[in-house]
Chains A and B, each alone.
Chain A
């Protein structure tokens, strides 16, 4: 029983860590590259404009998709490893 609740705590901690990392990337590509750091990326040109513009219009969306699939894959593996999966 103790083992079970230890595992549950471990599972939740791993989930929180994964969420923090994913949301850091989420914020970095949209609020960072797409908005706040755009002037810093002004020298990297892409298709007639700068990288920040690309991140705001396409890059952030593509990153969001990768993030969700990565999270789903990691969590579904974790479910099995720590016995939290659905029977």
Chain B
């Protein structure tokens, strides 16, 4: 059977499974559509949340990001540490509150349609920007494994999501996400186990990473440090100089993670407050299986790649281009690996051609620039071929990458459509709408959101790479502080909360736009995006944490200067703090 047929079989089987689940899990009421009826088991919800959270970027790109070295550990700590905040500062209380959406809480707690609307705007900006990446990610996965164009891939992905999201709502999404989690985690760990066995003899990648490299007898990380040093790169484990920026970047990712509406609403689906607490723990366990494997894949795949290029060691001549392995040929056709023989010696020199150490090495050895450009995504996509694994593993990776993109897209689309049908239509425009009318509105908004996401996926605005930073920055600077203060302070009132959210949102947007271009239009940046220009060395990607602090300060300051919230609001805060008397998510 050809590789194409195998890929088709794996992806097709996974789709049949998702559609089967969609037929079984049709939503019959708004409660089922928004929060899956509030009856999801905490472990099941943990698995669904993990799939919801782990996007195409986590699956395909993260190992590549980590392979740069220690500095990108921020992604690991930031994207997991946020769940500690979520478990202790938000999830249980919002579950107790017992309504359907994030703007629901902000609107009620701050007794203001203005606050509700601000929350809806923040939610839509961050979810729409985030969903673009998922659609393009699905398109890329399709085009690489199934020999269809990227646009056709996006249409297929949209059709599949349409089937289970429009009919099943949160209920359909939850159970398909469980299936998608299983597909993606199996696809991610199997090649990792094989590569770890080959390099270290240890079948568990997270332990293999810190054990002995079989071939050289040295610890794996020490071996990797030595190899990259010979080629002019920074040591893999080298410490960073700008610790302030690393701390703030990690903090922004943590606060941003805890403030993402599509993740928060997943905790509204469990039956009890105590289940919301357990569920956060299970979520992190399921996420950690991938996040503890990713750094191992990163270090091992980087060592593997350099060993392939320098078969006799980094101080010996590099591989002849004519002798390159098959997987290099395969991925060259996709453009993810590019070779240019700059010094015409027929060999592939890969080294750091911008560092002083690398330039010195090049002069000594007659090199005229780095000759091999390898896209970060290769470390995961080509992993099975680099490790000589059987073709079915490649089929698995194809199904896994698509599962990761679809599960996150569905979660985001539900957050968008419920913000429109529930917060905008039911709570602001037409409070008299019937249950049946709201259900129809929810389905139409979902269909509309999918069409919008498809359109943006097909015509991505020129800022695809920055959108994730934007989504996390906004989540950190606007929604997280408002939610936290709504629970932990009885004193913060509507004026304070609205001013705080707007301050955090606008400050963060201004700082990002200053360095990355106004509205991300290329060439419109006010200042060049270099560390010298950054305020106190804080990169635009790290500014979400500063925006959050501004939000807290402004909200608290203005609240102290203005009136106390009414008694019934203080009673509401008192009631969300205690799980006592929590029922199911109430219809209202």
Contact = CB atoms under 8 A, between A and B. Distances in A.
Nearest to B221: A48
A44 to B, nearest CB: 13
Contacts of A38: 239
A61 B250 contact: no
Contacts of A76: 274, 277-278
Nearest to B240: A35
Interface in A33-70: 34-36, 38-39, 46-50, 52-54, 56-58, 60-62, 64-65, 67-69
Contact of A47 (B221, B246, B251, B284): B221
B220 A48 contact: yes
Interface in B71-115: 73, 76-77, 80-81, 83-84, 87-89, 92
Nearest to A4: B580
Nearest to B578: A84
Q: Is the interface of A mostly helix, strand, loop or mixed?
A: helix
Contacts of A64: 80-81, 83-84, 284
B291 interface: yes
A48 to B, nearest CB: 3
B189 interface: no
B119 interface: no
A64 B274 CA distance: 18
Interface string B397-415: 0000000000000000000
Given A48-B219, A48-B221, A75 B84 contact: no
Nearest to B298: A57
Interface SS of chain B: helix
A79 B277 CA distance: 12
A79 B278 CA distance: 14
Contacts of A15: 577
A72 B277 contact: yes
A23 B281 CA distance: 15
B419 interface: no
A86 B98 CA distance: 13
Contact of B250 (A19, A31, A47, A86): A31
A53 B219 CA distance: 14
A71 B70 contact: no
A47 B89 contact: no
Interface string B274-300: 100110110011001001100100000
B498 interface: no
B521 interface: no
B529 interface: no
Contacts of B77: 30, 34, 56, 60-61
Contact of B88 (A19, A46, A60): A19
Contacts of A58: 206, 292, 295
Given A22-B84, A72-B87, A57 B274 contact: no
Contacts of B225: 48-49
B280 A68 contact: yes
Contact of A30 (B81, B291, B292): B81
A85 B73 contact: no
Contact of B281 (A12, A36, A39, A65): A65
Given A22-B88, A84-B580, A48 B280 contact: no
Nearest to B574: A8
Given A68-B84, A72-B274, A76-B277, A61 B76 contact: yes
B247 A79 contact: no
Given A49-B237, A53-B237, A56-B77, A71 B581 contact: no
A2 to B, nearest CB: 15
Contacts of A56: 70, 73, 76-77
A8 B81 contact: no
Nearest to B87: A68
Contacts of B239: 38-39, 52
Contacts of A48: 210, 218-223, 225
Contacts of B288: 61-62, 65
Nearest to B71: A56
B298 to A, nearest CB: 9
A75 B250 contact: no
A86 B80 contact: no
A3 interface: no
A30 B83 CA distance: 13
Contacts of A62: 288, 292
Contacts of B31: none
A47 B274 contact: no
B464 to A, nearest CB: 27
Interface string A9-32: 001100100010011001000110
B54 to A, nearest CB: 14
B76 A57 contact: yes
B549 interface: no
Nearest to B246: A35
B272 A47 contact: no
A86 B221 CA distance: 50
Contacts of A68: 83-84, 87-88, 277, 280-281, 284
Given A86-B274, A86-B581, 13 more contacts: A15-B577, A31-B250, A35-B246, A47-B209, A47-B211, A57-B70, A57-B209, A64-B80, A68-B280, A72-B274, A72-B281, A75-B277, A83-B580
Task: Name the 10 nearest CB pairs between A and B, nearest first.
Answer: A48-B219, A47-B210, A48-B222, A72-B277, A56-B73, A48-B221, A68-B281, A49-B237, A68-B87, A84-B578
Interface of B: 70, 73, 76-77, 80-81, 83-84, 87-89, 92, 206, 209-211, 218-223, 225, 237, 239, 243, 246-247, 250-251, 272-274, 277-278, 280-281, 284-285, 288, 291-292, 295, 574, 577-582
19 contacts: A8-B578, A23-B84, A26-B81, A30-B77, A31-B247, A35-B246, A48-B218, A48-B219, A50-B237, A57-B73, A58-B295, A65-B288, A68-B284, A71-B87, A72-B87, A84-B578, A85-B580, A86-B579, A86-B582
